[in-house]
Amino acid sequence: MTVEFQVQGVRVSELARRYGTPLFVYDGTVLRDRFHGLRDRLHPAMEIFYSLKANPNISICALLHSFGARAEVSSLVELTTALRAGVPPQQVIFLGPGKSRQELAACLDTGIHAVVCESIPEVALVDELARERGVRAQVALRVNPRFAVKRSGLAMGGKPRQFGIDEEELFGQTDLVKRFPDVDVMGVQVYMGTRILHEAVIVENTTRILDLAERLAAALHLELRMVDVGGGLGVSYFDGESDLDAQVLTDGLNPVIEDFTARHPGTRLIMELGRYLTAEAGTYVMGVRYTKTSMGERFAVADGGTHHHMAAVGIGSFVKRNFPMAVLNRLDELPTEEWNITGPLCTPGDTIGKKVPLPPVRPGDLIGVHRSGAYGPTASPGLFLSHGYPAEVLVHEGRCHLVRERDSPDDLLQRQRLYDPTAHDAADVPH
């Protein structure tokens, strides 16, 4: 009997039959376990905000919110998604280096907990928008700290960056509160980097960020009502990596949090997590269209690829490393061969797996990329070769929910216009 990959008892071949491939499948139980695995151990004063950037699907946001997650958003659509998913405005923060006037206005009009400002000119614009509305804007300052994170996949602080305001500069802004009377500067945010897989590094970052927030509040005479310590908690994808241990992590973090809350009982503490909450819950399922060999190497040409899962392809990484992959419809067969798994795009870069140990692959097989619930289609060039967005299915409490329809050719073409050589735009100069 062949063993198939299942999500809550639903076989992968059944999912592929019902929804087609390529397909993202999310397991609601894994999402819940990821959230609660941390929430139930973490000091209760530390709130967990879900970074929609990792997976902006409204149902993923709603499900995480039902477990207790709040929302961290970085665009007008992410803000709208979080609110429509049922997250109350007081549980939403908005950050990002290039917010538009419209986005900042929406922050003020919806009454979210805080706008995290990333430059002094942005604070000035928020001040102006607040004055126009007759409200006081709740603002946290994103700091680009002097210190850099060690052993992070992608460091954000401690070097010249478009993110946040340099620590040195901020300590000189002692008249900030007076200069912007319609802004209530009440918080500090620092995001050190992503994909951190060492508990001690996260504990050290958090300690330093809380200390920085205290010093900054004292220097600028701020009433510190919020500190967002970022996060950057990673998940393991590659050989030689191992996952964070939530118990070890919280054993290190909780005393630091306890210490801080003892001194600042009214301060809201926030941790922003994307990948850590969603990556493990997702599987990218591709159908194999053709198999062939080229110069002695085996190729399985699948219907999915870079346009949905750039992270697994590893574009932008120095070396190509494979995400965990399997032939999902024959899990019991041993890997005896090496296969290159490629997609439908006309570029050699569209290689999802290089020399992946797999059992013999056949057309019609379903190949899965595990740990694919974060930075999938949202972070991929989905319009390349006009393939568009794949379908997304959430399995929760034994039921399948189509949470994103696959783009159809009409979806992809509807905003293009076939020009009419006899017509001209009203703004054109007539000739």
Ligand X SMILES: *Cc1c(COP(=O)(O)O)cnc(C)c1O
Q: Closest approach of Cβ 53 to ligand X, in Å?
A: 5
Q: Closest approach of Cβ 2 to ligand X, in Å?
A: 35
Distance CA 186, CA 225 (A): 5
Q: Which is nearer to ligand X, 133 or 161 (CB)?
A: 161
Q: Closest approach of Cβ 288 to ligand X, in Å?
A: 30
Q: Which is nearer to ligand X, 278 or 283 (CB)?
A: 278
Q: Closest approach of Cβ 116 to ligand X, in Å?
A: 8
Q: Is the CA virtual torsion 170, 274, 372, 83 positive or negative?
A: negative
Q: Closest approach of Cβ 112 to ligand X, in Å?
A: 16
The backbone torsions φ and ψ at residue 70, rounded to the nearest 5 degrees and listed phi first, read -95, -165
Q: Which is nearer to ligand X, 230 or 390 (CB)?
A: 230
Distance CA 168, CA 146 (A): 8
HSE-up of 229 (CA within 13 Å, CB side)?
A: 27
The residue length of the chain stands at 431
Where are the strands (E) in 132-203, listed by range? Answer: 137-144, 154-155, 165-166, 183-189, 193-194
| Residue nearest to ligand X as judged by C-beta position | 274
Q: Let me know the angle formed at the C-alpha of 386 by 384 and 392, rounded to the nearest 5 degrees.
A: 90
Q: Closest approach of Cβ 168 to ligand X, in Å?
A: 20
**Tokens, residue 384:** 């390349």
Q: Which is nearer to ligand X, 56 or 287 (CB)?
A: 56
Q: Closest approach of Cβ 248 to ligand X, in Å?
A: 18
Distance CA 301, CA 294 (A): 12
**Tokens, residue 361:** 């692959």
Provide the binding-site residues for ligand X, judged by CB under 6 A.
51, 53-54, 95, 191, 194, 230-232, 272-276, 374
3-class state of residue 270 by DSSP: strand
Bond before 22 cis per omega within 30 degrees: yes
Q: Closest approach of Cβ 73 to ligand X, in Å?
A: 10
Q: How many CB atoms lie within 10 A of CB 48?
A: 21
**Tokens, residue 227:** 């500190």
Distance CA 120, CA 97 (A): 11
Q: Which is nearer to ligand X, 95 or 104 (CB)?
A: 95
Q: Which is nearer to ligand X, 311 or 394 (CB)?
A: 311
Q: How many CB atoms lie within 10 A of CB 18?
A: 13
Q: Closest approach of Cβ 275 to ligand X, in Å?
A: 3
Q: Which is nearer to ligand X, 92 or 95 (CB)?
A: 95
Distance CA 288, CA 291 (A): 8
Q: Which is nearer to ligand X, 116 or 217 (CB)?
A: 116
Q: Which is nearer to ligand X, 76 or 402 (CB)?
A: 76
